[in-house]
Structure 1
Amino acid sequence: MQSVPEESLPPVSGTCLVTGGAGFVGSHLVASLLQLGAEVTVMDNFSYGSRHRMESMAKGHEERLHLLSGSLESLEDCVEACQDIHTVFHYASTGNSPSSFEEPFSSCQANVEGSLNLLWAAWKQGVHKFVQASSSSVYGDDSSIPMVEDRTGRPQSPYALSRYVAELYGDLFWRKYHLPTITLRYFNVYGPGQLWAEQGPAVVTCMLSYLLQGQSPPIYGNGEQSRDFVYIDDAVSANFLAAASRRGGVYNVGSGERYTINEIYEECLSVLKNLGQKIIAPPPHYLPQRFGEVNHGLAHMGRASQELGYKPTITMSEGLHRTASWLLSLSQDERDLIYAHYLDAIATPWGREANE
């Protein structure tokens, strides 16, 4: 697992707890914490994250990386996990925007009740800093561009609503319980190792995977939806800045730039050709837009820049190059398996035609 260059990260004090540490962002965060010499406990039920990834990462770090199989829905598990912890990085969540319409209860249990359990446990155990992940989906039907932290619309899915409620609990624990809590409201994080995202198959990896198979990548809607894509290294760096800050509140984490999905398709074609791949350029396969999907997203970066010192450094072209290089480093069997998973996911009602 790749970690962020050490010289770009502020120091982290004490022992850290990372919930959801076996997932995409969580595992990159754990790798960077270990690189800095931190002692890390990972709490994960491995329903989404990779146990194998964590066990591989633990090799050589047995003294400083501890794996704890537990559930956020158990207050007892949360209290145990927060014992002797200085900083909590909360990344465990469940569900995605499309599937949460069919399973709203799991989003509420994990993202609301689980977050409340962890906040309560952190406060009871005297944790010094609490950093939690949220999502730009909380902006809902607010059409303002760029999106500013204090101006949100109505959430468009049970998943988005559960994320917003968790944000409100974080703010309450900061204001009334005096637990220093920062919420990082992520836009579209991408990079090596990512297979899934909030809407299902991760846009960048999915598109690269289809192109490498010589197949038409699926695009929901007309492809003119725009997104703010932020590379994983920049997303991880925001955690270290948040942990070092004495502030509380909500901060956007994005790149401050946006691309349409059609533009991402063209960029993926270009980067694969630059990497020496002879790609037959099949046109995208356009599918009905997914139910509850927001058309446009762009992070306003003023607050995160001024108050945390956050500044994204990886351009879209560089991020796509790194992600494509990772995918090409896998064996053909591994790439075939990823492609097969995407085929299965897109064939499901919530992955393909949720609005029919």
Structure 2
Amino acid sequence: MSETLVTSRKQDFPGLLTPEGEAWHYLDTAASAQKPQAVIDAMSRALGRDYATVHRGVYNRSAQMTLGYEAARKRVAEFIGAKSENEIVFVRGATEGINLVAESWGGANLQPGDRIMLSALEHHSNIVPWQLLAERTGAEIDVCPLTEDGRIDLDAMESMLTERHKLVALAHVSNVLGSVLDAKRAASLAHGAGAKLLLDGCQAAPRMALDMQALDCDFYVFSGHKIYGPTGIGVLWAREALLEAMPPWQGGGAMIDKVSFAGTTYAPPPQRFEAGTPMITEAIALHAAIDYVSALGLDTLFDHESALAANARAALRDTNKVTLFGPDKSAGIVSFALDGVHPHDLGTILDEENVAIRAGHHCAQPLMEHLGVPATARASFGLYSDESDVDALMRGIERTLRIFG
């Protein structure tokens, strides 16, 4: 991505200015991305002049909103290379998507003695739902180790997988280390053992071109707010045959075929898994966000953010007072520890310099234990990031080192 394009794109994001009109160097995109004006406008129109409920109204505006809502589903299917929009379930976020799979598919398919394979770098949202499922079903959990540079060790996984494994659930991109999974090999290994593969795509979807057919996974989840869309909406993709065999998770309106006190029948997927009034305006804004990033090109975004992360790592390494975590080439995420400075203290001082980073365990406490630290500082880049953000980060770190000298 050219510097000119980056500079022009910064202007699309009103959140990148302080209330005083100064530049705000937002390096917390892995937690939640800023929103371009196009998304804000789409959300505003949907909440205002266009608003009506969907699926039930016989009046024109409801019909138009229904068309918009279902158009968003079709757009998501195109964006990730799904075979059909019927494979797209709207959920509140990736966390709900994983819980839906655990409750519905997992509850129907796992038995005592079955095994689930996770990795040491997973987000809590890809750990705790499986622990709850294991407690209910009697299944057991195995943890795949990491390579020395912070990647999921698929060689180790290959040796660990057995016919007792029913599910493998892995991060496509680590939210702490930025390491990218060889997803196609993970799918081959899982399927070779007779297991299904779920991928947590929260960090991949905003910066990598996706094709569900090429990835060959069975379930894929991501959150709208990380892909420059609104909070409160996410996507669960699953193979249509799997969705058709899964029982409902939540009951209510919209997910039914016919209700009577004698018994209820359920709608086909994806409606079966969307009980209640859906996230109408959020879906329309997500559509706008997908259009926005698609126009730039996901491969271009990956290259741009990876280059910034590499430059940040090089600058941090030059200070000689930093421990870096993860691979040298990462998907726009850099985690580090500054000698003698707690990440929270660093985050506070950087905030005074109009630089926003994340400090803590990043909802990955088992990974922190593996790294041997209680917390890390994390700088994560977005499509709006440029070298000025790296420079501001380093100025703030230099000031921090002088203070703690």
TM over 0.5: no
Bigger relative CO (Cα 8 Å, ≥ 6 apart): 2
Alignment TM class, shorter chain as reference: 0.3 to 0.5
Q: Structure 1-normalised TM-score?
A: 0.34
Answer with 1 or 2: which has the greater Rg.
2
